[in-house]
Amino acid sequence: MAQPRFGTDGIRGLAFEELSTEIAMCLGRATARVMDLERVVVGRDTRESGPALSTALIEGLNSEGVQVLDVGVLPTPGVAFLSASMMIPGFVLSASHNPFHDNGIKVIGSGGTKLSTATEVAIEKELEALLLDPSQHVYAGTKGTTAQEPGTHRLYTDSLVNVLGVDALASMSIVVDCANGAAFETAKVVLEALGAKVTTIGAEPNGRNINDGVGSTHPEKLSSTVVAQGADLGLALDGDADRLIAVDANGAVIDGDALLALFAKDLKDQGRLANDTVVVTVMTNLGFHRAMEHEQINVQTVAVGDRNVVEAIDKDKLTLGGEQSGHIIFREFATTGDGLLSGLLLADLLRRSSSTLGELAASAFTLYPQYLEAVPVAPGSDLAGATELWERVKSAELDLGDRGRILIRASGTEPVIRVMVEAEDDAHARQLTAELVALVAKSLGSQG
């Protein structure tokens, strides 16, 4: 069988090359057969490749007799919400925070949940078989149907408004950066219904400007706009709006670790943090762990990926988990990370506090200096076999002891090796990161 196509967040690659219309059509066929689909919901973000890939996916589904609800541009958590409320599987065409020339397809299980690994493997096997048969790459005629039902977007936005109630944020001034992505309309609708005074940036998608200098990976424009507007809060979403990075009134960026620390303490204070436990990944800053110890909150650590966070939450019936990148799962309200939900809950937390967001974040935990680098490598590079690299990692970890951490892993979404170093001393962390990045490049052959 070919190298697995499903990464940590579905199938992703260069649109029309690594992710072609043929692959999209065959994926529709394969998923319909493996999961015995009858009805599904399909949504996408604003990439210029989205309409063509969505059409191909839907044609593959229709050719297998599947009834498709096509909701067009809608955030990933919106599609997951419809999947959960209608108890039907879903598909999202998005490459999240990646640039416009990439795209991806996520498959959501009935009820808004991630697919099991066994189901993904079965779909991949069927997909590879279909790709070997050219007759399966073309539309064979409609057996199922496709519908666009008015009001589906409203079901999602109303569900978010109902979390707090109409006009709950009436006293707040908020700037929201929609990343020129899937939430370019829904974010303003929700926040204005909650009564906030809203300014939007990154809300003029043209198919190619998604995540381009805006959004959760580029919060600089949001920071300057918040300061210029004198706003209380800035919210930065990513291309499919499943993650959130915040900005305080002074323009300082508040990442997912800080947000999660604030939410964990707030939920515990309200008696709503199940088992007084929060789920994080191995990328979470060491300072977060120290802060949770101080608050007597248990921390459960899992591998990178919101799939792993959600699985741990559901397994132990927990209520909160997330990632440094801003994926935060409030299981009481959603089946997946939702940047807009996180944003309105953050605004509510701030509204109830006598402190500014900057003051709250500063008191949440002390950030350990942390450096993250992505080193391009050839696809399929043998990280485990990089002996010189791992020998240096071992000696460095002995030197750091419990005063720092090193994490080196292959990305699940692109051909890079991610290097993370934390240490109490900033200069030491920076120097060690540079050394390990050089060793990765030397051992595995940087691709530029």
Q: Is 382 exposed, middle or buried (0-12, 13-18, 19+ CB in 10 A)?
A: exposed
Residue among 54, 63, 96, 381 flagged as catalytic: 96
Q: Measuring CA to CA, which residue among 192, 187, 190, 191 is closest to residue 214?
A: 187
Q: Which helix (H) or strand (E) holds 423?
A: strand 416-423
Count of helix runs (H) and strand runs (E) in the chain: 14, 19
- Rounded-to-integer distance, Cα 289 and Cα 284, Å: 8
Q: How far is CA 345 from CA 77, 225, 260, 352, in A?
A: 15, 21, 11, 11
DSSP 401: G
Residues 215 and 173 sit within 8 Å (Cβ to Cβ): no
Least Cα distance to 4 among 300, 393, 413, 448 occurs for: 413
Residue 422: count of CB within 10 angstroms of its CB: 23
Output the CA–CA distances (angstroms, integers) from residue 248 to 15, 46, 139, in the order listed. Answer: 36, 28, 51
359/260 Cα distance (integer angstroms): 15
Residue 243 half-sphere exposure, CB side, CA atoms within 13 Å? 25
- Catalytic site includes residue 96: yes
Q: Distance between terminal CA atoms of the chain? A: 29
d(CA 423, CA 402): 9
Contact 356, 362 (CB under 8 A): no
Positions marked active-site: 96
